[in-house]
Amino acid sequence: MAADPITVTALWWAVIVSGIYHGLNPGMGWPLAVSAALMERKPSALPRALAMLALGHFLAMLAILLPFSLMLVLVEWETNIRIGAGALVIAMGLYLLINRRHPKALARVHPARLTWWSFLAANAHGAGLMLVPLFLGICAADADIGHRAAEELMSGNVPIAFAVALVHTASMTAAGGLLALVIYLWLGLRFLSYTWFNLDLLWAVSLIAVGAFGIWSAVNGH
C-alpha cells in the first residue's frame, strides 16, 4: 500500500481534533482539576491536577493502542483488523446511546487519585477505542504491509502508538486546561451548576462516526 500524504495528514488531524474534543468534555475530568484548585486554594493545584489527568489518559490510550501495534497477524490481516476495530468502536457508541448512565465504579475512586480516575474514565467512555481506527489507518499508510517483515512493521508501529497517544493527550490537556483555567480564574464552579452541558449523546454519535470512517477507509484502501 503506497503512502498517501493526504490520508496520513487527515488521520493525524483527526487524532488532534479528537483530543481537543475529549479535553472539552467534562467527562474526561477537567472539572475535577478546577475543584482541586479551589479546595486547596492554590493556583499550583490546577496544573498538578491536569498533569495527573493527562498521565492517566495517556496510559489509557497506550493500553488500547499497544496491543494492536504488536500484532504479528496485522501483516496478513490488516484490512480485516481495521474493519473489526471500526465495528467495535461503532458497538461502543451504540452501547453508550442505549445506556446513558455513567459507570458507578468511577464514583468510588477517591478524588485524590486523579491519574487512576482518568485512566478508568477514558476506557469506560471508549476514548481509547476511538483512536484505534485512526491509529491503524496511519500504520497502513506508513507501511507497505505486503512487503515488510513482521519485525520491521512492529518496530515502526510501536513508536506510532506512542506518538498517537502523546499527540492526542497533549491536545486534550491543552483544550481541557484552557477551559479549566477560565472556570477557575473568572467563572467558578457555581457557573457549571447553571450551565452544565451534557455531551454524552454527541460522544456516542462521534464514536459511531469514527468507527464508520475506519471501516470505510479500510475497505477503500486508505
What are the pLDDT digits (tens) for 75-93?
Answer: 556 677 778 878 888 888 7
What is the model's pLDDT at position 134?
Answer: 76
Q: What pTM was estimated for this model as a whole?
A: 0.74
Quick one: CA torsion of 136, 53, 205, 78, rounded to 10 degrees?
10
pLDDT at 104 over 70: no
What are the pLDDT digits (tens) for 53-70?
Answer: 999 999 999 988 888 776
Neighbour tally for 66: CB within 10 Å: 14
| Residue where the block lists cell 457508541 | 93
List the chain domain ranges.
5-219
**30-40 and 45-69 are packed helices; what angle lies between their axes, rounded to 10 degrees?**
150
Mean pLDDT across 99-105? 59
CA atoms of 116 and 33, how far apart (whole Å) = 14
